[in-house]
Structure 1
Amino acid sequence: MTPYVLYVPEDAQPGNAAALKRAEVVKDGIAWWAVLFPLLWFIWHRLWLGTLAVLAAGAALSLACYLLDVDRSAASLAHLALVVFFALEANQIRGWTLQRRGFAAVDAVLDRSRAGAETKLFARWLAGEAQAVAAPRSASPTPRVSAPGPVVGLFPEPGGGR
Structure 2
Amino acid sequence: MPVYTVHAPSPAGADLRATDKFVFVRDGFHFWAMIFGPVWLLWNRLWLALIGYLVFVAAFNAGLSGLGLGRGSIFFADVIVALLTGFEASSLRRWTLSRGKWRQLDVVIADDEDTAERRFFERWSKSQRGIVNDQWAVDRGGPPPTRNVPGQPFSNPPPIPAGGIIGLFPEPGGSR
Interval containing the TM-score (normalised by the shorter chain) = 0.7 to 0.9
The answer to whether the 8 A contact 1:4-1:27 is kept is yes
Shift in Å, 1:63:
0.3
* 1:3-152 correspondence runs (5 A): 3-8=3-8, 9-13=10-14, 16-128=15-127
SS in 2 for 1:109: strand
- The amino acid that maps onto 2:13 is A
Shift in Å, 1:112:
1.6
**C-alpha distance in 1 between matches for 2:18 and 2:93:** 19
Number of paired residues? 127
Structure whose CA Rg is larger: 2
**C-alpha distance in 2 between matches for 1:34 and 1:25:** 17
**C-alpha distance in 2 between matches for 1:112 and 1:70:** 44
**C-alpha distance in 2 between matches for 1:20 and 1:59:** 40
Shift in Å, 1:125:
2.3
Shift in Å, 1:26:
0.5
- The amino acid that maps onto 1:24 is V
Shift in Å, 1:98:
0.7
| Cα distance per residue 1:62-116 (max 9 Å; x no partner) | 1012111212111111001011112211111111111111111111111121221
Shift in Å, 1:126:
2.7
**C-alpha distance in 2 between matches for 1:103 and 1:39:** 23
**C-alpha distance in 2 between matches for 1:123 and 1:96:** 26
TM-score normalised per structure 2: 0.67
TM-score normalised per structure 1: 0.73
Structure 2: tracts of 5 or more residues without a match: 129-176
Shift in Å, 1:127:
2.8
**C-alpha distance in 1 between matches for 2:25 and 2:82:** 20
**C-alpha distance in 1 between matches for 2:92 and 2:115:** 23
Runs of 4+ in 1 over 2 A off after TM superposition: 122-129
Q: Which residue of 1 aligns with 2:159?
A: none
Structure 1: tracts of 5 or more residues without a match: 130-162
What percent identity do the matched residue pairs reach? 28
**C-alpha distance in 2 between matches for 1:70 and 1:87:** 25
SS in 2 for 1:7: strand
